[in-house]
Amino acid sequence: MAHAVSNPAGAHGGHGNGHHEEHHDQESMKMFGFWLFLITDVILFGTLFATFVVLRLNTDGGPTGAELLEMNGIIISTFILLTSSFTSGIAVLEMNKGNKRGLILWLAITALLGASFIFLEVNEFIHLVHEGANIGTSAYWSAFFVLVGTHGLHVSVGLVWMIALMLQLSRRGITPVTKRKVGIISLYWHFLDVVWIFVFTIVYLMGVM
């Protein structure tokens, strides 16, 4: 009889361990999927950078970057985005402390900085179009708008993602699932900052020289 009673308990424990391992495997697969996504993004931006470098002198007699790009605004945008990378790092530190309120606060600050960056970028595009440079003006401006616009689109997606995550954190708190999601959005945000450093250097600094 004692042997018969012990078997269900063992089976239950085995089922619990199996469920935990299955959940861990799912989380690992999701993280692996994110890294694959990041690799494809590296290839995408690498292609766009290469295209821009090849076409950067092909202005077809139209306006050049040196004539229209305003570096003061770009420097401010760069400072804002790099600061948002710092605040997203603080958010991760607050998460590791188990401070849900601090985590949401710093994610909100990061999102606000990201929104400010997008606002300035949209204003820049409006200014360029007003000055006679749009995506169809020349090969140079086509490459410019596609590259810078693709980065801006990624930042916008990150903002929507971050806001959705803050809502989830407010409802569910810090769990293994939300911790993974915060880690992923933080890595994604740092990646966009690194890409922007290349945009700033290759597109803007080289563009005004």
Contact 154, 193 (CB under 8 A): no
Confirm whether 14 is domain-assigned.
no
Residue 61 lies in a domain: yes
Q: Is residue 171 part of a domain?
A: yes
What's this model's pTM, rounded to 2 decimal places?
A: 0.85
Q: Considering the domain boundaries, does residue 6 fall inside one?
A: no
Q: Identify whether 161 is part of a domain.
A: yes
CATH number at residue 200: 1.20.120.80
Q: Is residue 2 part of a domain?
A: no
Residue 1 domain flag: no
**What is the DSSP secondary structure assignment for residue 102, as one 8-state letter?**
H
Contacts of 177 (CB under 8 A, 6+ apart): 27
Q: Tell me how many domains the chain contains.
A: 1
pLDDT (tens, 9 = 90+) of the chain, 209 residues, equals 444 444 544 445 555 555 556 656 676 787 788 889 899 999 999 999 999 999 998 988 888 888 999 999 999 999 999 999 999 999 999 999 999 999 999 999 999 999 999 999 999 999 999 999 999 999 999 999 999 999 999 999 999 999 999 999 999 999 999 999 999 999 999 999 999 999 999 999 987 76
Query: What is each CA distance from 122 to 16, 56, 63, 126, 181, in whole angstroms?
Result: 52, 21, 19, 6, 28
Q: Is 109 inside any structural domain?
A: yes
> Which residue range(s) make up the domain with 123?
26-208
Q: Which of 152, 161, 69 is nearest to 117 (CA)?
A: 152
